[in-house]
Amino acid sequence: MGEIGIGIVGGGYMGKAHSVAMAAVGAVFDTALRPRLEMICATSDSSAERYRMAYGFARGTADWRVLVADPQVQAVVIASPQETHRAIAEAAFALGKPVFCEKPLGADLADSRAMVAAARASRCINMVGFNYIRTPASQYARALLAAGEIGQVTWFRGEHTEDFDADPDKPASWRNFGAANGTMGDLAPHMVNAALALIGPIARLNADIATVYTTRPGAEGKQVNDDIGQFMCRFTNGAMGHLSFSRVATGRKMGYQYEVTGTKGAIRFDQEDQNALWLYRADDPPGQRGFRKILTGPEHPDYLPFCQGPGHGTGYQDQIIIEARDFLHAIHTKTPVWPTFDDGMEVNRVIAAAHASHASGTWIDL
Amino acid sequence: MGEIGIGIVGGGYMGKAHSVAMAAVGAVFDTALRPRLEMICATSDSSAERYRMAYGFARGTADWRVLVADPQVQAVVIASPQETHRAIAEAAFALGKPVFCEKPLGADLADSRAMVAAARASRCINMVGFNYIRTPASQYARALLAAGEIGQVTWFRGEHTEDFDADPDKPASWRNFGAANGTMGDLAPHMVNAALALIGPIARLNADIATVYTTRPGAEGKQVNDDIGQFMCRFTNGAMGHLSFSRVATGRKMGYQYEVTGTKGAIRFDQEDQNALWLYRADDPPGQRGFRKILTGPEHPDYLPFCQGPGHGTGYQDQIIIEARDFLHAIHTKTPVWPTFDDGMEVNRVIAAAHASHASGTWIDL
Amino acid sequence: MGEIGIGIVGGGYMGKAHSVAMAAVGAVFDTALRPRLEMICATSDSSAERYRMAYGFARGTADWRVLVADPQVQAVVIASPQETHRAIAEAAFALGKPVFCEKPLGADLADSRAMVAAARASRCINMVGFNYIRTPASQYARALLAAGEIGQVTWFRGEHTEDFDADPDKPASWRNFGAANGTMGDLAPHMVNAALALIGPIARLNADIATVYTTRPGAEGKQVNDDIGQFMCRFTNGAMGHLSFSRVATGRKMGYQYEVTGTKGAIRFDQEDQNALWLYRADDPPGQRGFRKILTGPEHPDYLPFCQGPGHGTGYQDQIIIEARDFLHAIHTKTPVWPTFDDGMEVNRVIAAAHASHASGTWIDL
Amino acid sequence: MGEIGIGIVGGGYMGKAHSVAMAAVGAVFDTALRPRLEMICATSDSSAERYRMAYGFARGTADWRVLVADPQVQAVVIASPQETHRAIAEAAFALGKPVFCEKPLGADLADSRAMVAAARASRCINMVGFNYIRTPASQYARALLAAGEIGQVTWFRGEHTEDFDADPDKPASWRNFGAANGTMGDLAPHMVNAALALIGPIARLNADIATVYTTRPGAEGKQVNDDIGQFMCRFTNGAMGHLSFSRVATGRKMGYQYEVTGTKGAIRFDQEDQNALWLYRADDPPGQRGFRKILTGPEHPDYLPFCQGPGHGTGYQDQIIIEARDFLHAIHTKTPVWPTFDDGMEVNRVIAAAHASHASGTWIDL
C-alpha cells in the first residue's frame, strides 16, 4: 500500500469537498494508494492556514506555484476559479504530476484545448470533475445504455436547473458577470457531460440563450451574464435531443435530470431523488408495464462498499469520494479513467457551439 | 329548461365520447338546455344503426349532409376525420347551427382559416375540443397564472408524448400517412393549445421534426409521416419556451405534461396523474418551501359537482362532459366560450410555423 | 335490448351519483338492459321534484313505499341514510325486485343479517355499493392476487383516511352523532371490504377506536362518535394485517390506500392517484427490481371501453357507472355479481368485532 | 484543537461505517476535538490487522479488553454484536472513558438497565447509535413537532420494513436465531426510537409478532426468530399510534418511514427518499393545500456544511459522520447529547412490552 502526497488548489466549496474526500477515501475503499493531505493553497496566507487546520493538511500556501512545485505534492487537485485552471494544469504537467481539475475544464475552448495538449504531451494522468454523474443511478444508466438494454436510443432530454438566482432582488455576485460564470458556463457543463456520456457525441445543435434579469441590485450599468439556455440537437447516432439549463428555475434545487427513450425501453433520472433510477421495459408482460423505481444498492456501480443493502442512500459527498478513488486508481495503475481532459474539452466544444448557434439563429455542426 | 337536438358526425372513438357526454351532462350539471340525442352519422348505414342503438340516438345516417340538414338537429358535433371538418362546419354554419369541432380544427391552416371565416360570418356558436386542458388541475393552473400567483412567467416547458407507435414492428395504419395524421398534426395541437392558454401567444419559434421509423410492416414504398417533433420558442410576453411531441416515447401513456416557471413560483402538471397540480410558492417560509401536491376538489374549477370532497378524482370522460356543458351553455346564453374556432386556428398557425422552421432551419416569426 | 325502470331512493350525494350513472351506462357499455329513469324519492315533494328535473326522472315522490310499489319501478337503488336501508330492501324483495344498496349494508349487524335473509328468501339480485374498489387498478390487484402473481400473501396494510373533520372548530353535523355515522360506521366499510376482497376472510382482530375531538361547536353535551380507529388482524390464510381509518387525517383527501406483501412480490395502491397500480416482482432481473407504476388502460379490468389507450384516466363517476353496469348485467343474466348482500354483511361483522375488541381490550375471533 | 484517541470494537459493517466517519469528521465539521484512529478490535488477529490497514488505524487487537484498557484509547465505539455491548461498556465506564454504543443498547432490557446504571455511576459521556434518525429531514421533523408547527399530534404511524429475508429459500444465517437478532430485536429499535423522539413516551401498547418462514434451508430443527411485528399504541400525550416492522417486506429496501398527523398539519417521511420531507399545512390558502416536498438543504439541521445549496443530497455515510460529530462535541463540552443510554434503554423497554403484549394478547402499560 503506497502513499501519495496531495495538493489541493482552492479551499472553498469544492476545495473542501475534495479535502474531505481525500481524508475518507482510503478507509472507504481500502485504496492501494493512500492520499496524504500535503498542502492546500488559498488566496491568502491566513485563509490557507485556516483551511489547513480545518481540513487536516500538513502545510498551506497562498501561491499555487509553490504547491505545484513542492516535491511532497505528487498529485494536484484544481478547485480554484475557472480562469486559473489552465496555468495550474500546465505547470503540473510540466513537472510530470497527475492533475484532477474541477469542471469546466477551461474557462473557454481555447484554454481547454491547450490543457488537453499539455496533458497529452506530458502523458500524465488527467481527469475532470463532473461529480453529479457519479451516482450509482447514473452509472447504472450508462451501463444499461451501453448494453443496449433499452434498444436504440431515439430521444434524450436533459436539464440542469436550479433556482439560486431566481429572486430578482438578490444582489449581484461574481456569478452574474463574465461568460464563464453564467448558466451556460457554470451549469450547462454538467448536463452536456451527461448527454455525451449517456448517448454519445452531438452532431449538430440549435440554441437559445437569455438573461432573464438584466438588472439586479449591485449590477447597475454592468452587463449581466446568461440566466437560462436551451438547445435542440441531433446526436451522431441519429437520436434527437434537447437540453436546458437555468439558475432561475424557481422551485428547482438540483434539477439535474434526464430521460432517455429507446426502441425497447426508457430511463428517467432526477438528482433530487438521486438514489433512484426509473426504468421502463417494453418487454414486460402486457398489463404489467410501467416505469419501475429502482433503488440503488450493491448490485449497482459505485455503491458505497460498506452499505450492506440497497436503500441506505448515497449523497453529494460520496460522489466526490468516488472521484478521488478513480483518480488514485488511475495514478496507481497508470491507466486513464473517464472523464479525461479530452472529455472535458468536448463539453467546452458543445457549449461554444451553443453560443455560436444562438448568435446566428441557425444550426451549428460540431 | 329547454331541449336541443344534437347531431354527432362520427361514431368511433371521439363520437362515442361525445355521445356519452351528451347522455350524461344534463344529470351531472342540471343544464338549462338538455341535449336530445337526435342523429348520429357513420360511414355506412349498418354502422350508423349500430352506433344509434349503442349510444341511444333516435336516428342514424351514413350521410353527414342529411344530419346537418335535418331540422331536428339543432347543433352539430364533428368527430370525424380532420379532412372532413371544414365542409361539415361550413354546411352547418350556412344553416345557422352551432358547431363543436374536435381538434385539430382544420386539416391544415387554410381549412382552419376558412372555418373561422364561416363561423364569423354566421355568428353561430363555435367551439373546438381540446379535451385534456379541461381537467380541474389545468383549469386551476390557468386561473393561477391569470391571477399572477407565480409572478411573471419566465419559462414554459410542455410535452405531449405517448408510445402507441413505439414498437417498430407495429404495422402501419392510417395514422402513419398524411401530414395531418403525424405527431405534429395529431398530438401537437393539444400541447400547443395548452401553451397558448396558459402563457399566451407565441412570438417566434425554431423547430425540429423527424420520422424515427421510416419503414414499418405495410408501409413499404410509402412516405411515413412524423413520429417526433420539438420547438424552442419565445412568447410575446418574453418568456422562453420549449414544446415536444412524440408517439414513440416508450413508456409514456399520456405524457401531456407541462411546467411553468415564474418569478414568484412554479407550476407542474402531468396528465398521467391528472387529479394533482403541483405548486411552488417562493414566499413560503424558509425551510418549508417545496412543490406541494394539490389534489383537485370542489375549490377548483370544473370539478364534478356531485363529488363532495377532493380526491374523488375525475377522468377522461369527465373532460368531455365539461365540454358538452360549456357548448350547451354557450348556445343557451348566446355567448362564445373558450376555445373558439379562432383559438383552434391559432394552434394550426403555430404548427404551420413549426413545419416552416424545420424546413428552413431558422427561427420563424408568427 | 330490453329496458328496465329504475327507482332511486335518495336524491343527495349518492343518489345523484347513481342517477348520473344510470343516465350514462347504456351509451358507455351498450348494455343489454337499458335503464329508464322512472322515479326518484326524496325527503319532500319539492326536493323530489327538483331532483326529478335535474336528473331526468319521469316521476318523483316523497314516499319510498310508493317508489318501491310502483309497477314501472322494476329495480331499486337505495341511496338513503343507513337506518332506512333495511326496510326499503325488505319491501323491494317482498315484491321480487332487485336491489342495489349503498354501503354500509345495514345500520348495524342485525339489520344486515335481516337484509341478507330477505334477499335469500326472495332469490332476487342483490348488490352492495362499495364504489372505490371499482377502479381498474384495484380490480387488477384482485386479479393479480387471485392468480398468485405475488405468491403467498404475508402482510396487508390498508387505510381509509380523510380530513373532512380535521378542523376542531368545524361545527358538528349529523356525521358526528350516532354509531353508524362515525368513522367505523362510515369510512371503515370501504377498506374492510377491500381487505376481504383482496386477501380473504379475517380470522381474528384486535382494535382500538377513539374520538379525537370530544367537543365541537354545536355538540355541547352530546356524545360525539368516533373519529379514528385501527385494528391488527390475522386473515384465515395466515397473513398478518393492519387497517386504520380516520376522518381527522389532516392532509388526506382520499386516503384509500393499501399495500400487499407476498412471497414473490408486492402491490401498492393509493386512491389519490387512482389510475396507477404499483407492482413489485421479485423475479425481475437483479439490479432491475423496483416497484413499477402501471398506468391502468385497456389491458386492465373495468377500464372505460371508449378510451383507446392507457393513461386517459378514470374517475369517481366511472366507478359508479361500473356498478350500474354490473347491476344491470346481474339482473339481465339472473346471476349474482360481487359484492352481494352477503359480502356487505361480512363487512358489518368485522366492524362489529372491532367494536367488541376495543371494548374488551382483547383479540376477537370472527 | 485537541486530539482524542478512538478505539472501535468491531470491524465489520458498522465498525467500518464508524471508522470512515472518524476519518472524515474533522475535515467535514472542523471539530474542536480531532479523532485519532488508535485501535480497532476484531475477532482474530488477522482480521484486526486487515481492518487496521484498510481503515487506517494505528493498531489492531483481537481482545476488546486490551482496546478498552489501552491508555491511548480515550473513547470507545462499540460496533460488535449485541450480547457483547454490556461488558464492553461497563469496562470502559469503569475506566472513565466515554462510550458510543451501536443500537440496540443491550441485548435485552436487563443488559440495558445495567448499562444505564454503569453510565450514570461513571458520569461518562454515553450515546447510542440510531443512525437513520440523523437525516436533516428527520431532524427537521423533530424541530417542527417540538415547535408545534402542525398543532397537537393525534396520530403517528411508523414502519421499518426491509426485504433481505423475503426469499423463503434464502439459507438461514445468525440473523434467524436468537431473540435479539429477530425483527423486533434488530429492526424495531430504529422506528421505536423515532416514535419516541418525534412524539414522546408511549403509555401503552398492544402487539402482534410472527415468524413468517418457520423453516429455511439450514434451519432444520431450530427455532427461527420473528420476521414481522406490529403494535398499536397510545402515547402519553394522547395520540394514537401504530408501528410495524418486517424483514420480509418484499420490495422494501429501506422502508423506514413515518407519518404524523396533527391538528394543524401533517408530516410524512420515507428513508428511501431521505432528502425530502413532506409537510402539509392546514393554514395554506384554500385551493392551495397539499403536501409539499421539501428538499433538505442548508436551512435544515445537520445538513452537510460544504454543500452550498439544497438538493445536493446526504446519504448513509453522512448520518454516521453526524453521530461522530455529536459524540466528539459531547466529550469536548462534557455535555450529554441525545440519544443517551437512557434513550436507548427506553427503546428496549418498549420492545420488551411488545413481547409481553403479544404473549398475553392484551394491552400492556409502560
Q: Which of B1, B135, B247, B253 to mutate to test the interface with C (most CBs of C within 10 A)?
A: B253
Any idea where the domains of chain D sit in the sequence?
2-132, 136-310+345-360
Interface of A with C in 290-309 (CB under 8 A): 290-295, 299-300
Cα–Cα distance between A320 and A210 in angstroms, integer? 31
Instruction: Tell me which residue in C281, C284, C293 faces A291 most closely, judged by beta carbons.
Output: C293
Which other chains touch chain D, taking contact as 3+ CB pairs less than 8 Å apart?
A: A, B, C
pLDDT at D310 over 90: no
DSSP 8-class letter at B233? E
The lowest-confidence range among C195-199, C259-263, D302-306 is D302-306
User: Can you spell out the DSSP letters for D195-239?
Assistant: HHHHT--EEEEEEEEE-S-S--TT-TTS----SEEEEEEEETTS-
pLDDT at D272 over 70: yes
A159 forms beta bridges with A244, A257
Instruction: Tell me which residue in A281, A287, A291 faces C299 most closely, judged by beta carbons.
Output: A287
Q: Within 13 A of C16's CA, how many CA atoms are on the CB side?
A: 19
Q: What is the mean pLDDT of residues C83-101?
A: 98
Instruction: Answer whether A281 sits within 8 Å of C299, measured CB to CB.
Output: no
- Identify the pLDDT of residue A306: 63
* A24 lies within 8 A of chain D by CB: yes
Taking contacts as CB-CB distances below 8 angstroms, the residues of chain C near D155 are 228, 246, 248-249
Instruction: Tell me which residue in C13, C55, C311 faces B272 most closely, judged by beta carbons.
Output: C311
Instruction: Tell me which residue in C242, C261, C264 faces D242 most closely, judged by beta carbons.
Output: C242
Q: Do A2-132 and A136-310+345-360 agree at the fold level?
A: no
pLDDT at D307 over 70: no
What percent of chain B stands above pLDDT 70? 99
* C142 lies within 8 A of chain A by CB: no
Taking contacts as CB-CB distances below 8 angstroms, the residues of chain D near A19 are 27
Which other chains touch chain C, taking contact as 3+ CB pairs less than 8 Å apart?
A: A, B, D
pLDDT tens by residue, D283-292:
999 999 999 9
Residue C94, Cβ density class (10 Å: 0-12 exposed, 13-18 middle, ≥19 buried) = middle
Q: Which of C289, C299, C300 to mutate to test the interface with A (most CBs of A within 10 A)?
A: C289
pLDDT at B171 over 80: yes
Instruction: Answer whether D261 sits within 8 Å of C244, measured CB to CB.
Output: no
pLDDT band at residue C231 using 50, 70 and 90 as cut-offs: very high
pLDDT tens by residue, C111-132:
999 999 999 999 999 999 999 9
* B266 lies within 8 A of chain A by CB: yes
Residues in CB range of C334: below 8 A, 6 or more apart: C125
- Identify the pLDDT of residue B124: 98
pLDDT band at residue D13 using 50, 70 and 90 as cut-offs: confident
The lowest-confidence range among A82-91, A95-104, B130-139, C310-319 is C310-319
Taking contacts as CB-CB distances below 8 angstroms, the residues of chain B near A280 are 250-251
Closest CA to C159 of B131, D352, D297, D159: D159
Average pLDDT, chain B: 95
| Domain A2-132, second-level architecture | 3-Layer(aba) Sandwich (3.40)
Q: Please count the residues of chain D.
A: 366
Taking contacts as CB-CB distances below 8 angstroms, the residues of chain C near D168 are 263
pLDDT at D202 over 80: yes
Instruction: Tell me which residue in C286, C291, C300 faces A292 most closely, judged by beta carbons.
Output: C291
Q: What is the mean pLDDT of residues B265-270?
A: 98
- Identify the pLDDT of residue C297: 93
pLDDT band at residue D304 using 50, 70 and 90 as cut-offs: confident
Residues in CB range of C279: below 8 A, 6 or more apart: A288, A290, C144, C150, C265, C266, C267, C291, C292, C294
- Identify the pLDDT of residue D91: 98
**Number of C:D CB contacts under 8 A?**
104
pLDDT tens by residue, D320-331:
999 999 999 999
- Identify the pLDDT of residue D1: 64
pLDDT tens by residue, D339-356:
999 999 999 999 999 999
Look up residue A88 and give its three cell numbers. 495550474
* C168 lies within 8 A of chain A by CB: no
* C234 lies within 8 A of chain D by CB: yes
> What is the least distance, in Å, from the CA of C329 to any CA of chain D?
38
Helix or strand holding residue C72 (H, E): none
Q: Between residues D183 and B305, which one has the greater pLDDT?
A: D183
Taking contacts as CB-CB distances below 8 angstroms, the residues of chain C near B13 are 306, 308
> What is the least distance, in Å, from the CA of D19 to any CA of chain C?
28
pLDDT at B23 over 70: yes
- Nearest chain A residue to B291 by CA distance is A251
- Identify the pLDDT of residue A211: 97
Instruction: Answer whether C299 sits within 8 Å of A286, measured CB to CB.
Output: yes
Instruction: Answer whether A242 sits within 8 Å of B242, measured CB to CB.
Output: yes
Residues in CB range of A134: below 8 A, 6 or more apart: A302, A318, A319, A320, A322, A323
What percent of chain D stands above pLDDT 70? 99
pLDDT at B151 over 70: yes
Cα–Cα distance between D99 and D121 in angstroms, integer? 13
- Identify the pLDDT of residue C304: 80
pTM strictly above 0.90? yes
pLDDT band at residue D306 using 50, 70 and 90 as cut-offs: low
What percent of chain B stands above pLDDT 90? 92
Instruction: Answer whether D309 sits within 8 Å of A19, measured CB to CB.
Output: no
- Nearest chain A residue to C309 by CA distance is A287
Structural fold of domain C136-310+345-360: Dihydrodipicolinate Reductase; domain 2 (3.30.360)
List own/partner pairs for A48-54 with CB under 8 A and 24 or more apart: A48/A11, A50/A11, A51/A11, A51/A15, A51/A16, A51/A19, A53/D1, A53/D30, A54/A16, A54/D27, A54/D30
**Ranges of residues in chain A whose predicted pLDDT is under 50:** none
pLDDT at D60 over 90: yes
- Identify the pLDDT of residue C366: 95
- Nearest chain B residue to D309 by CA distance is B287
* Cβ(B101)–Cβ(B128) below 8 Å: yes
> What is the least distance, in Å, from the CA of B119 to any CA of chain C?
30
Q: Which of C240, C245, C281, C291 to mutate to test the interface with D (most CBs of D within 10 A)?
A: C240
> What is the least distance, in Å, from the CA of C262 to any CA of chain D?
7
* D170 lies within 8 A of chain C by CB: no
* A3 lies within 8 A of chain C by CB: no
* A251 lies within 8 A of chain B by CB: yes
